[in-house]
Amino acid sequence: MSVYSLWGSLEIGLIFGLVALGVLISFRVLNFPDLTVDGSFPLGGAAAAILIHHGYDPFVATGIGTLAAGFAGVITGWLNVRLKIMDLLASILMMIALYSINLRVMDAPNVPLITESTVFTVLQPAGLHDYVARPLILLVLVVVVKLALDWFFATQVGLAMRSTGSNPRMARSQGIRTGNMVLLGMGISNALCGLAGALFAQSQGGADISMGIGTIVIGLAAVIIGESILPSRRLAITTLAVVIGAVLYRFFVALALNADFVGLKAQDLNLVTAVLVTVALVIPLIKQRLRRKRVE
Amino acid sequence: MILHSALRSLVGTVAVVGALAAVPAQAQSVAVTSIVEHPALDAVKDGVHEALATAGYTEAKGLKWQFQTAQGNNAIAAQIARKFVGDKPDVIVAIATPTSQAVVAATKTIPVVFSAVTDPVAAQLVPGTGPSGINVTGVSDALPLQKQIDLIRKVVPNAKKIGMVYNPGEANSVVVVKQLRELLPKAGLTLVEATAPRTVDVGAAARSLVGKVDAIYTNTDNNVVSAYEALVKVGEAAKIPLIAADTDSVKRGAIAALGVNYHDLGVQTGQLVVKILKGAKPGDLPWETSSKLELYVNPGAAARQGVTLPDSLIKSATKVVK
């Protein structure tokens, strides 16, 4: 595996680390199975790409992409809280609606950004290769987002949101307006996914309508890998764990891409990735069994 | 004795150096990536491989050939692009628009040859027609649409309204639709669109055109090609003639198709790769469009969809499907 491909895995892994943080909020904190992600990730990318294409500042474009995706999440929450549509169904409705909306936003299935200036080209420090600079820029951003989330979940509102997810009835009896908490949480969750989409489009040369396919699966895989590697009841550790999980997932894909020496072919990629992730998930279990044996 | 062994090792060293010099300067390596495995895109890949073999670049002679598909996933396409750039092959071949964009975004130095991209300028792969001046060249699969319209007129001379089923999420199809919206009225025809965002929507989209159109034209849209049988069912039940742009669809029930042979497109792409391997700069090689179009006709399907094909058209066909 080349250094270049490792930096690439880190870059894409960190972008999906933002998705993992978003998925952590919806699935774990709020206990809301949210598939909007498959639409909000490309929405962030689409909005950012089309704005940059029309000459807007890449930072403004990224910000608007993030807000748009957050708004989409709020609507999913609203469908569930106010219109009483089942959570999973509400998110599926939003996801399929976003497919059309994204096509409208881009006015085409594909908006290239190969020759435009992006947040990465603007922040590019002199004397550093771009393939090293991008992951470092993302690392700083992801750390900032992680710390901001840790801070938020320790505030009054953050704690109210966590109690909404773990025991809504008790939360309501304490005077927490759980409906609003769901809307806020879904907004933050999808805003993070939209931010990831906006950055992904800018690092990969453009937004494409198909860029959202499977985002939720990768986000969830990252959350589960992270939780099994760094199991903890402290949210500050879990936010770190899911980002590590997202990066690890990308390393597994890079590893699978280099598996040709054992006679594996291009079409085996997804299978190899699945096997590697399974192994990563089973290791803690094996460790536990070994420890138990030693005790006996 | 000591002298003897020293002499022998010296002779050995000379022999090794001599052998090294006899091997061509460096083994060539070509890395190919495609967004998804699909008959047309696979034909392109095989065509590239064949063109390389014809020019004497084979695995037996030291060619390092590598192929990866992104399995339809853009994040994986991005990772494949990074892996290839890290492997530093002599040429990267990128098949279809999203993969080509990922590769071009990942390298400004390694020669990139794209293939099966309908509009490389709109995709920002190259700045315009002619030599790009950068590390990119390739072959577009854009069809001359005027010839497609001529074919429609030959198959259904008194048609007024032409239906089209396509995936609004496919860049290649949207390019074709945009151009047809302008070109068809000039030929006295109107375009009626029906979209199929997923393969399962193709049948429903075709049914929505029944009673509104005199013929249905389809481009090389991936969704439509994958589910062409659904279109054939509607065409035969409602007697709507079907004209395609993918020649394989004729075997599956289209009346006629004037299309790019994707295997030949791959060979053409491979010939560009060979030029670069021999020392040409990609920036000096203008990107190309397919040089060869093939007409396939299916008189049986024509009868089932309520039209008879003129003999002249059948005679001019590359292949007549029985």
Q: Does A202 touch chain B (CB under 8 A)?
A: no
Range with lowest mean pLDDT among A96-105, A124-133, A169-178? A124-133
Q: Which chain B residues touch A7 with a CB distance below 8 Å?
A: 82
Residue of B nearest to A255 (CA): B83
How high is the pLDDT of residue B1? 45
Q: Does A253 touch chain B (CB under 8 A)?
A: yes
pTM: 0.85
Residues 115-154 of A with CB under 8 A from B: 115, 131
Confidence of residue B7 (pLDDT cuts 50, 70, 90): very low
CB pair distance less than 8 Å for B171 and A208:
yes
The residue-averaged pLDDT of A190-217 equals 94
CB pair distance less than 8 Å for A213 and B73:
yes
Is the per-residue pLDDT at B143 higher than 90?
no
* Each residue's pLDDT tens digit, A124-160: 988 888 899 999 999 999 999 999 999 999 999 999 9
* Top mean-pLDDT range of A108-112, A151-155, A256-260, B197-201: A151-155
CB pair distance less than 8 Å for B82 and A218:
no
Question: Which of B125, B144, B141 minimizes the C-alpha distance to B133?
Answer: B125
* Each residue's pLDDT tens digit, B66-125: 999 988 888 999 999 999 999 999 999 999 988 999 999 999 999 999 999 989 999 999
CB pair distance less than 8 Å for B124 and A113:
yes
- Closest Cα of chain A to B222: distance in Å? 13
* Each residue's pLDDT tens digit, B23-36: 444 689 999 999 88
How high is the pLDDT of residue A269? 75
The residue-averaged pLDDT of B41-57 equals 95
CB pair distance less than 8 Å for A112 and B123:
yes
CB pair distance less than 8 Å for B78 and A8:
yes
Q: Does B76 touch chain A (CB under 8 A)?
A: yes
Q: Which chain A residues touch B168 with a CB distance below 8 Å?
A: 103, 109
How high is the pLDDT of residue B26? 62
How high is the pLDDT of residue B19? 42
CB pair distance less than 8 Å for B74 and A115:
no
Q: Does B146 touch chain A (CB under 8 A)?
A: no
CB pair distance less than 8 Å for B83 and A206:
no
Residues 6+ apart with CB under 8 A from A194: A40, A41, A43, A44, A45, A47, A65, A66, A67, A68, A69, A70, A72
Is the per-residue pLDDT at B10 higher than 50?
no
The residue-averaged pLDDT of B172-183 equals 92
Is the per-residue pLDDT at B16 higher than 50?
no
Q: Does A56 touch chain B (CB under 8 A)?
A: no
